[in-house]
Amino acid sequence: MIIQNIEFLILVPVLLYPILVAYRKEGYGRKISVNRTMIALILILAAASPAITQTVESQTEQKLNILWDNTTSIKAVEKPQIQVSGTEKTFISGNNSKIFNQASQSIETQSENLLITDGQTEETPEQLINKADRMNTSVSIYRLEDKKESSVWIEGPSTTVPGANNEFTVKTSLTKETAQPVAVRLDGEEVFSGRINESYSFEKEFDSEGQHTLKASLNSTDIFQNNNEYFKTVSVREKPEILVLGESGGLEDSLEQFYTVETSQTVPEDLSQYYTVILKKPLESPKIKSYLSEGNGLMYTGTLNQTVPDYLPVRKSESSEKDSGAKVVIVIDASEGTGGECIEGTEDFCIERSTTGGSAKESIEIAYGLVDSLNENNRVGVTAYNRDSYLVSETQSLAYNRDSIKKSISRITPEGPSFHDKGLEGGNQLVDSNDTVVMLTDGKIGDYERNRNVPSKLRTRANSMDAKLITVGMGENPNQLLLEGIAEDTGGYYLENDEAGRLEFSFGAGGGETEYTPIAVTDPTHFITEGLELEGSTTGFDEVDVKKAGRSLVSGSNAKEALSTWRYGLGRVAAFSADDENLGRIKVSDPDLVSKTVSWTVGNPQRKKKDWKNVEDAERPEKPVAEASYQLQGLTQESENLYTADLMPRSLGFHEWQGEMYAYNYNTEKKRLGQDMDKLSAVAQETGGKIYSSENIGKLSEDLDEISRQVKEKISLSPYLVSLALILFLAEVGYRKRKGRL
């Protein structure tokens, strides 16, 4: 049963006095008083608008939502003639490659969705599949006919060092042929000529510093002529010098190909020549602090069980109990805008929303998943907010309260405005300095909230927090800029809703201890971890916590830190707090994590040169950017020792600026061609859709005919209660007439 106007129930206590009066009467007077009290009670209940819901079968004619892709790459396939009536719209156009993201915003509930696209995108289809699942709708795919089209491009390093072995890969995308003749030239000399089926790789070692050019071309007559050639430049630069402080080991060997590595047991008098220092033991050295303050780098790999230098982003854990677990407070945005689809009114002024769907439902599911996955030694509290914050569940150990916390979460109902500052305030009241707040919200700010200065109040609240804040952007198009900003102000980070599984590694998930503990990225927004999927496991976790200004990038499934970073003055500092001093297991299972960490601490490999200039290769429609450490004609100063300008080449190919060679290539939309049916078939299969083509598109009309649907119908009980009150009143009139007391 649903009570829609619950405020009327406050009148029930008023009836206590009439009940007491009726009790003191006898005979006829008592009967009349009791009957009138019953009538009053029933009318109060009727005013409260009680209702029940029931599921009924309804026969409804299905609508068809036809979604057209109009991006550049779609020209490589034949445009079909769809002889089916439906609502047609273009969901993506131009050079946009986020096909599944855009399609997820265009599909409609209570409709069949027909997606006409080539599916050429770097995205995975999970976002579209998950959205269709939440909306209880299906997405069907139209199989397209390919035109004759081919493209070529080159992948490989843009910068390298003398003596390093570099691998370059020439790739082709062909819609008709299985192989295509391709010619590859290095510095104008042909190094390969032959047919390529998808890709061809070769290795090249450069002996000295300088610039080199690579060009791949294929001979094909098709739609796009400018994607039959690709240009690439390679800059060979002096190896940056790095210093290793500690015993020699396997770590240095893995770095020597790209860096000039020196090893020392003591800190030299002058560190200025080194781009970064790899420190294998804890040293409290004024020289290191001064070196970092000047903008240099440091990567720490030593043990932290005894001493933790204060220039590292971690400190000794304040927990005296090894398995005490984490304290986590989940803050859920339960404002009206997080509810389901608006069923009465408009999105700007919605009178009533559906009780199903919406980002609030997603938030509850993520909160459920987090509570389910955490070890029982963790403590979890939950708050929700709209106009104000309110307590959903006190902070309790999961050992005995897991189910009761989930039950409390399930009662959250969206209503009211989005006062995000109130939500953060409520969550912050339940935590201490070493705890974590997880905020599930879309972060959107409407005019009502903006007029009440909610964004400013929210940032102020975040700046004053001692605990770490992790924000998870919910729903479509969350306010990522705001949510990232307030999280980073606390030393936390921002996650997309489909990345929420990383939260488990932030606090420890799963069962008992094992010899080796899996590691995973917890903050995917950092240069080091962007695009990384870790596969390894390790041992040797130190008992440390990340400082407020630090960033936790990688953690073990035991919730212990593995890699964290921060800025010490102008310097970049990264600290590994797991594995041995040579990162023996991590550099084997996840070598990119080690190499990208070193690269981040090194920074700009030309920064120790007095004068430098550079132009990176670019692809249309982006403009090449010229950079220099000193003033040159046409450049604008961006910061100290950095001058930049956008270049405007008139043609594709190799170009020169101030003696620096760079390449300008065709639009990336023209690289991968044809229809990617692997991804698109997965969409149809996972959402309950079908694959149509020119041969069976006529069957679509049959599939749309009279589909039976389960719908919920709300039945108000107020008319029945009013009728009951009327019957009691008429019964009283008849009784009084019979007694002769009218």
Give tens-digit pLDDT for 265-301.
999 999 999 999 999 998 888 999 999 988 899 999 9
Between CA 71 and CA 359 the distance in angstroms is 29
Written as six digits, the tokens of 184 are 């590859």
Place of tokens 């790999």: 301
Q: What is the DSSP string of 666-733?
A: --GGGTS-S--HHHHHHHHHHHT--EE-TTTTTHHHHHHSSEEEEEEEEEE-HHHHHHHHHHHHHHHH
Q: Which residues contact 86 (CB under 8 A, 6 or more apart)?
A: 63, 64, 65, 66, 114
Q: What is the DSSP string of 185-239?
A: EETTEEEEEEEESSEEEEEEE--SSEEEEEEEEE---SS-SGGGEEEEEEEE-PP
Please tell me what DSSP assigns to residue 79. Answer: P
- Nearest-CA neighbor of 70 among 124, 121, 125, 118? 118
Q: What dotted CATH number matches 254-307+509-602?
A: 3.40.50.880
Q: In this structure, are strands 618-619 and 660-665 parallel, antiparallel, or unpaired?
A: parallel
Between CA 558 and CA 541 the distance in angstroms is 9
Between CA 615 and CA 146 the distance in angstroms is 37
Q: Where residue 622 falls among pLDDT bands split at 50, 70, 90?
A: confident
Angle of helix 480-489 versus helix 454-463 axis, rounded to 10:
30
Length reported for the chain: 742
Model pLDDT for residues 163-190, shown as the tens digit of each residue? 888 889 999 887 776 677 899 999 999 9
Q: Where residue 352 falls among pLDDT bands split at 50, 70, 90?
A: low
Between CA 181 and CA 532 the distance in angstroms is 34
Half-sphere exposure at residue 381, Cβ-oriented, CA atoms within 13 angstroms: 17
Q: What percent of the chain has pLDDT over 90?
A: 26
Q: Are 237 and 159 in contact (CB under 8 A)?
A: yes
User: In the chain, how many H helices and how many E strands?
Assistant: 18, 42
Q: Phi and psi (nearest 5°) for 448?
A: -60, -45
Q: Phi and psi (nearest 5°) for 483?
A: -70, -40
- Nearest-CA neighbor of 451 among 414, 483, 416, 419? 419
Q: Is the pLDDT of residue 510 over 60?
A: no
Model pLDDT for residues 562-618, shown as the tens digit of each residue? 999 999 988 999 999 999 999 988 988 899 899 999 999 998 887 788 888 889 999
Place of tokens 């493209």: 151
Q: Are 573 and 298 in contact (CB under 8 A)?
A: yes
Q: Where residue 354 falls among pLDDT bands split at 50, 70, 90?
A: low
Q: Is the pLDDT of residue 711 over 90?
A: no
Q: Phi and psi (nearest 5°) for 150?
A: -150, 155
Say which CATH architecture domain 327-507 belongs to: 3-Layer(aba) Sandwich (3.40)
Written as six digits, the tokens of 275 are 């781009």
Q: Are 329 and 391 in contact (CB under 8 A)?
A: no
The residues pairing with 384 across neighbouring beta strands, listed in sequence order, are 332, 390
The residues pairing with 554 across neighbouring beta strands, listed in sequence order, are 521, 563
Model pLDDT for residues 117-136, shown as the tens digit of each residue? 888 777 778 778 777 777 77
Alpha-helical (H) ranges within 77-192 are 99-104, 126-135
Tell me which range, 267-276, 350-359, 458-467, 547-556, is most confidently predicted by mean pLDDT. Answer: 267-276
What pLDDT score was predicted for residue 347?
47
Phi-psi region of 740 (alpha: psi -120 to 50; beta: other; left: phi over 0): left
What pLDDT score was predicted for residue 709?
46
